[in-house]
Homo-oligomer: A and B are copies of this chain.
Amino acid sequence: MKIIGERINDSRAQVKRAVSERDVAFIRRLAQRQVEAGADWLDVSAGASPQQEPDDLVWLVQTVQEAVDVPLCLDSANPRALAAAIKEVRQTPLINSISGEQMRLDGILPLVRESGCGVIALAMDDKGVPSGVEDRLTAIRPVVDELRRAGLPDERVFVDPLVMAIAANTESGQIALDAIRAVRAEFPDAHLCSGLSNISFGLPVRTLINRAFLTLALAAGLDTAILDPLDRELRKALLAAEVVLGRDRYCLNYTRAYRAGELNGPGAKARHK
């Protein structure tokens, strides 16, 4: 599983403050901590002050790139902010996100065509949030088609099955897992990418639900997750799931994490309480 670190998002109060005060040290540290914790990309989002978004996003891109050496996931619906940010990146980024909504297609497709960036593609369109598996497929098919026409191979498309809150609908988890399997079957070369925060919205002890979903989604075919790499319990659950699914050859990652002290913690001692 590849990890997109989600922490540099100015919908979080501390990040918002750091962006508006141009607090370089805070953002650098947050970037470094996420990469140390295993992030393969860092998401950067600066939509809190829409007028300022292009400047803020460019500043975030520059600041993060001075601190770490991973590619970025440019998280914006604003084509102007994305265009400005793409000019600054040192490594090919992901654009987060496109969808079947006409405004998104019109705004983002030209950027994809020009830059060849990878892109996260949400399984939704102007009809709104889909309710089942079939309408997710109906929404994503034309998006993948458009991306292909824009010259982007499926290998650079990260389909987001659009995970909804279980608290609102008990079936949401199963729908998300079935959608992951269905997209995987229909677009075998595309990546499958999801955030974790929606699934557990409105439930207590959300990290427990996130861990279970991540484990099951990995088995279903999710290969990329937008998550908090600093959630240590989540990382432990992921390492263990990869072992059980036979995706950690000789359990090397798991035992290496153990030797580095990363598997310790109270959960480890549950049997001995």
By a beta-carbon cutoff of 8 Å, the part of chain A in contact with chain B is: 166-167, 170-174, 177, 199, 203-209, 211-213, 215-216, 219, 228, 230-234, 236-237, 239-241, 243-246, 248-251, 254-255, 258, 263-268, 270-271, 273
Contacts and interface: CB of A to CB of B under 8 A. Distances in A.
A166 to B, nearest CB: 6
Contacts of A166: 243-244, 246, 251
B267 A207 contact: yes
Nearest to A169: B246
A231 B270 contact: yes
Given A170-B249, A271-B228, A213 B263 contact: no
Contact of A203 (B167, B204, B243, B266): B243
B173 A245 contact: yes
A159 to B, nearest CB: 20
A63 B71 CA distance: 63
A174 B246 contact: yes
A215 B245 CA distance: 12
Given A246-B174, A270-B233, A216 B203 contact: no
Given A219-B216, A249-B170, A270 B207 contact: yes
A209 B244 contact: yes
A231 B203 CA distance: 22
B209 A263 contact: no
A194 B244 CA distance: 15
Given A240-B208, A244-B212, A245-B216, A267 B174 contact: no
A251 B216 CA distance: 18
A203 B231 CA distance: 22
Given A234-B270, A246-B173, A273-B230, A204 B263 contact: yes
